[in-house]
Amino acid sequence: MPSQSSEQTSEDSRALQLLRDVFGHADFRDAQAQIVAHVATGGDALVLMPTGGGKSLCYQVPALLRDGTGVVVSPLIALMQDQVAAMQQLGVRAAFLNSTLDAQEAAKVERALVDGELDLLYVAPERLTMARCLDLLERAQIALFAIDEAHCVSQWGHDFRPEYLELSLLHERFADVPRIALTATADPQTRAEIIPRLALEEAQVFVSSFDRPNIRYTIVDKIDARAQLLRFLKEEHAGDAGIVYCLSRRKTEETAWWLQSQGIEALWYHAGMDAATRAEHQARFQREDGIVVVATIAFGMGIDKPDVRFVAHLDLPKSIEAYYQETGRAGRDGSPADAWMTYGLSDVVQQRRFIDQSDASDEFKRVSTAKLDALLGLCETAACRRVRLLSYFGEHSEPCGNCDTCLEPPQTWDATDASRKALSAIYRTGQRFGSMHVIDVLRGKTGERIARWGHHKLNVFGAGAELAEQAWRNVFRQLIALGFVQVDHGSHGALRLTESSRPVLKGEQQVQMRPVVKSGRKPKTASRTPDEVDLSPADTDLLERLKEWRRNEASSQGVPAYVILHNSSLTEIARARPLDVEALAAIGGIGAMKLERYGEAVIGLVAEDRADKATGSTP
């Protein structure tokens, strides 16, 4: 009789074999192997892994290893069809049950389930918890339950789904079936809520690092946001798919129209659109190459596109959690991606005003203020952004070399004198004016308003003429972000001194500040993962050929392009130029079924490209 450990080993090698044959990946990543082994042998698991970390394999592989059907609960109905299509491309028997199916189609899926003909079944939570569906599951053999987007049980998060609260009944009705809950939500409060709500007290918890090393963080001073965005898009992301976040619905539309007028394929997305247009914009982003969506945060959880190359923020989010979640939609495929934000004085004032003017309780306002302050700290830091970001989530790290402050360390300047002048100008003008007016006073600008208040007679009038207006705005933003000055929204954004400004005014405390950073341009060299940018011109030609073939294939099958083959696979092919099946099988993401379906076509394209190059003709 084999010992426990050798049984374990043979189970592990079965899992690895499956990973290679079906998914075409050489090895498990990080904790994947442990998670798969734990669930495949019947254990419950809670998996906390960042977006792009590879959560899907953690339930897909055990579902294939165990007898019966793996049931995947997901709130993302719009994505189920694509997820199922991706599985079918791999030769996995997958189906979904949700409200988009008519009665006849649903009955067919249900029959296949009961007859044991499905490896994976994706189900919407509201459907799963209906008595009829539970009875159906009892007549089938269930390999496991995977509860995706498990943070939807949290009543405090903005993805709350009441149906998720009922999922604890799976534990009661199917006590022997292992359950695996997964989420990319990094904040500890939400994590703590998931366990009791899903009755996962016995589950093993797997926490991965929340670092996303392929994402480069950049935060630039807002000078002319549109022009800065356009430069970023044209110089660094021409032809790439990406998301631009704005606060207001109107701004998303205006920005998208403007980008279109500048020759960029941009669409808008917000909760106020009619359902059909909204779905169309989301589908085009998901399925086509190189679409830019300008969106409010309503564009969120339903995005499952692996090759989003950038997430840009034209307005400041409200917390680090929100910033991390939004930027996390970039680079799921592991290739280099940018998280880019313009940030200025108006952002700080605006977010503070939202908090002050909301009807929420004082407690809620206090928490919101603390969260905003943490984000402002990230924006103002002269040290590594990633270190700061991760430490907010309780993770220690070293300077990353892949954020703006690591790549171009800002030379901070001694702003003690400027700060004293600014604080004193606020004080002398009676703490009744906004930053524009106070800056005019400092710069000695004459005019009707200044004269009316007699501010040209003050000592501070013209005391700050040595700094340009933009530099002063920069100083005021940091004074507010650092807590020396507060904005009184009850009286039109008047600036007031805080208790902590006293030592600065008295000259007892030094103040270091970041200078105005105009461009945020950075060398493109620090990419850590192989990417298209590293391809030679000849390889880029071949990549274009492959993409065109993929486009045709995807549209004739009615699936997104990445479901056929990922960009990373195409890039590897363009570089390695496989001319036989064995060489092609060595490419990441090409398993047995993809080889069978597309091997001939891909090898044909590589050979054709070689022949064209030899005869000197261009494609």
Q: Which residues bind Zn ion (CB under 5 A)?
A: 384, 386, 400, 403, 406
Instruction: Give which of 183, 167, 83 is closest to 133, Cα–Cα.
Output: 167
* Position 34 contacts ligand ADP (CB under 6 A): no
Number of residues binding to ligand ADP, judged by CB under 6 A: 17
* Position 43 contacts ligand ADP (CB under 6 A): no
Which of the ranges 47-55, 90-98, 441-449, 505-513 carries the binding residues for ligand ADP, by CB under 6 A? 47-55
CB nearer to ligand ADP: pick between 55 and 237:
55
Write the DSSP symbol of residue 490: G
Is residue 151 within 8 Å of 190, Cβ to Cβ?
A: yes
Q: Which does 28 bind (CB under 5 to 8 A by kind): ligand ADP, Zn ion, none?
A: ligand ADP
CB nearer to Zn ion: pick between 102 and 398:
398
Summarize the chain as % helix, strand, coil (round to 5).
Answer: 50, 10, 35
d(CA 152, CA 122): 16
Chain-centroid distance of CA 252 in Å reads: 18
Secondary structure class of 527 (helix, strand, coil):
coil
State the minimum distance, in angstroms, from the CB of residue 55 to ligand ADP. 3
Which of the ranges 28-36, 64-72, 436-444, 535-543 carries the binding residues for ligand ADP, by CB under 6 A? 28-36
Q: Is 591 left (phi over 0), alpha (psi -120 to 50) or beta?
A: beta
d(CA 287, CA 271): 21
Which one of 566, 569, 602, 605 is in contact with ligand ADP (CB under 6 A)?
566
Which one of 41, 56, 416, 431 is in contact with ligand ADP (CB under 6 A)?
56
* Position 54 contacts ligand ADP (CB under 6 A): yes
Which of the ranges 52-60, 399-407, 430-438, 532-540 carries the binding residues for ligand ADP, by CB under 6 A? 52-60
State the minimum distance, in angstroms, from the CB of residue 304 to ligand ADP. 7
362-to-158, 355, 424, 490 alpha-carbon distances in Å: 20, 10, 30, 16
212-to-54, 185, 471, 528, 589 alpha-carbon distances in Å: 12, 13, 33, 12, 20
Which of the ranges 44-52, 251-259, 391-399, 496-504 carries the binding residues for ligand ADP, by CB under 6 A? 44-52
Which of the ranges 45-53, 376-384, 401-409, 595-603 carries the binding residues for ligand ADP, by CB under 6 A? 45-53
Which one of 18, 31, 32, 118 is in contact with ligand ADP (CB under 6 A)?
32
* Position 269 contacts ligand ADP (CB under 6 A): no
Which one of 38, 55, 197, 386 is in contact with ligand ADP (CB under 6 A)?
55
Query: Other CB atoms closer than 10 Å to residue 263's CB: what's the count?
Result: 11
* Position 28 contacts ligand ADP (CB under 6 A): yes
Of the chain, the end-to-end C-alpha distance in Å amounts to 62
> Count of H helices and E strands in the chain?
27, 17
State the minimum distance, in angstroms, from the CB of residue 280 to ligand ADP. 24
Q: Which does 406 bind (CB under 5 to 8 A by kind): ligand ADP, Zn ion, none?
A: Zn ion
Which of the ranges 46-54, 406-414, 451-459, 574-582 carries the binding residues for ligand ADP, by CB under 6 A? 46-54
Residues 329-348 that bind ligand ADP (CB under 6 A): 332-333
CB nearer to Zn ion: pick between 401 and 604:
401
- Write the secondary structure of 88-101 as one string of H (helix), E (strand) and C (coil): HHCCCCEEEECCCC
Is residue 27 within 8 Å of 36, Cβ to Cβ?
A: no
Q: In 161-211, which ranges are E strands?
A: 179-183, 204-207
CB nearer to ligand ADP: pick between 246 and 565:
565
Residue appearing with tokens 């099946």: 581
* Residues at the site binding ligand ADP, with contacts judged by CB under 6 A: 25, 28-29, 32, 49, 51-57, 306, 332-333, 566, 588
